[in-house]
Amino acid sequence: MKALNKKWLGLVASAVVLQAGVVFDAAAQLPPVIKIGASAILSGPGASNGFTMQGVNNMLVKEINAAGGIAGRKVEIVYGDDQADPTQAVNVVKRLIDSEKVHVMVGPAIAQVSLAAAPELTRAKLFSLPFTGATSITPQVYPYGFATFYASDSFAMAMIDFAIDKMKVKAIAALVDTGAQGQAAGAVFKAYAEKRGMKLVALEAADFTSNDVTPQILNLRRAGADVIVQVSSTDLGATVAYKATSELGWNVPIISQVSSLFPAQILKAAGPDTYKGGRLIGLTLKASTICPGENPANSNYGKFIVRLKAANPDWQKFALPLATYFADGMYIIKAAIEGTQSVDGPKMAAWVEANASKIPTIGGQVKASKTDHILYGSDVFAFTKRPDLADASGLSIREGC
């Protein structure tokens, strides 16, 4: 089929036989229809996250079914709107498990929401892919789950390194959200800056739903910061940080872990000139960037984004740079089911721990082990200032080429 990457299908087919010598009775192990549950943010703050997840998953399920399904089984996906709320997410996950009888789960997103849902997923022994980078997503908390974002300690160190090595700053301050990922990143900012010989001059926090961080920004300015490292779970965090500094006339650079992931949403909320001054420096996947002179036709990420746009006429409401995380999650589910010929959570989790690095992905090689369930490592990072100038295939210029 033209729409489905034949190279990827071949690689996944190879992944199925990675456990050589093991013979499965597919008829006994697999249900007639494989049901994937999705706990997504489909309303409220962060809804672009859920819309993107939905668009990616629906396209890939359609393609997978057209190509024969997963291990010969048809795939269905069932959604629940968790609204980025821990209590609502628990209710959504319970419904998907107990009423919809799903076999695997994608989401929830955001650390505190994912952590709230963890006991239910563990109770059901469901293989799951929470979308967060909080280091609290451990094999103890999520024995059958793997985080489909990069670890907060890794990206926090990368942001400090960029500030010191590339920007040559003298005073770093941090603005984080109050969730598990933000708090973990804040602790790393402080410790790692000191390790690099630079004291963090100030650390401020705000709820990820906050619409005004002016008091926090004033404190960072009083501390004499000449760069802010910013972490939040949604585009709102970068938007309000940029707007507050602009309204105060403080043109401080902001190195953000989300500003390159939600460019359309940030431009709409903060204004069309938001990225023009180069003040917002975003952390993103290297796969979604390109250096001048490189051929975009060689980018697997670019090819995927073109396909995603063609399949979704309303793609403008997506946060396109997030698409590959969700796509990689679907590829991991497919590979794990076909590698075990099972939807059993413990079996799938053990298979991913042993074989993650062999699974073909778009965003960069994933990793996993019995002690580490956060899939992306620091080798996938890149920084970009102008995600608003991404080409038709979603590629933006990488800093430091």
The DSSP H or E segment spanning 6 is: helix 6-16
Q: In angstroms, rounded to a whole number, what is the distance separating the alpha carbons of residues 222 and 309?
A: 45
Residue 1: band (very low, low, confident or very high) from pLDDT cuts 50, 70, 90: very low
Q: Which of 57, 59, 40, 47 shows the shortest CA–CA distance to 312? A: 59
Is the pLDDT reported for residue 123 higher than 90? yes
* pLDDT tens per residue across span 66-111: 999 999 999 999 999 999 999 999 999 999 999 999 999 999 998 8
Q: What is the DSSP string of 231-276?
A: E-SSHHHHHHHHHHHHHTT----EEESSTTT-HHHHHHHH-TTTTT
360 beta partners? none
What is the token pair recorded at 313? 């006429």
What is the token pair recorded at 363? 């965003």
Angle between helices 323-340 and 6-16 (to 10 degrees): 40
pLDDT for residue 180 = 85
Residue 291: band (very low, low, confident or very high) from pLDDT cuts 50, 70, 90: very high
Which one-letter amino acid corresponds to residue 199? K
33 to 65, 75, 125, 336: CA distances (angstroms)? 11, 6, 18, 16
Is the pLDDT reported for residue 353 higher than 90? yes
Q: What percent of the chain has pLDDT over 90?
A: 83
Q: In angstroms, rounded to a whole number, what is the distance separating the alpha carbons of residues 302 and 175?
A: 32
* Ordered domains of the chain (ranges, CATH): 6-150+299-378 (3.40.50.2300), 153-293+382-397 (3.40.50.2300)
Q: Is 15 exposed, middle or buried (0-12, 13-18, 19+ CB in 10 A)?
A: buried
Q: What is the DSSP string of 275-286?
A: TTTS-EEEEEEG
* pLDDT tens per residue across span 141-166: 999 999 999 888 999 999 999 999 99
Give the mean pLDDT of the chain.
91
